Amino acid sequence: MKLTRSTIVVMFLFGLMCPGQSSRPVPPGMRHAQELEQQNERGFPPPDPSRRTLSIAELNIEAHQLAELAASVPQGVQNAGKGLLEKDLVEKLKRIEKLSKHLRSELDR
């Protein structure tokens, strides 16, 4: 009877030790990646929301500029159809594209 109890105790102790040994070790590359991720999270301050947003007045100014540029484009396209290409038509179109992208990105925030 004592032999059976001691055998059960020994088996129980081995059972407690086995789960710790059966866990898979973390590969060194994975550990390094986790460390870099933690450093990255600590290294950058959160974005400053006051710096990212433009005032409504600035957005209105850009929208007004966009409207003025867009209003001047149809006449330039008509002239281009007649063979007279305005020098700044392409620059106006690029400025329209830039303003519209900026306004869209600011309003999507």
The number of folded domains in the chain is 1
Tell me if 82 is assigned to some domain.
Answer: yes
pLDDT at 17: 62
The Cα 82–Cα 70 span in angstroms is: 20
**86 part of a folded domain:** yes
Asked if the structure places residue 36 within a domain, the reply is no
Please name the residues in contact with 79: beta carbons below 8 A apart, sequence gap of 6 or more: 85, 86
Q: Does pLDDT of 25 surpass 60?
A: yes
Task: Judge whether 37 lies within some domain.
Answer: no
pLDDT in tens, 29-84: 777 777 777 777 766 665 555 555 568 899 999 999 999 999 999 999 999 888 88
Write the burial class of residue 88 (CB in 10 Å: 0-12 exposed, 13-18 middle, 19+ buried): exposed
The token pair that represents 23 in the structure block: 């866990």
Is 88 within the bounds of a domain?
yes
Q: What is the DSSP code (8-state) at residue 88?
A: T
CA 11 from chain centre, in angstroms, equals 53
pLDDT score for 96: 95
Q: Which pLDDT score, from 0 to 100, does residue 14 have?
A: 66
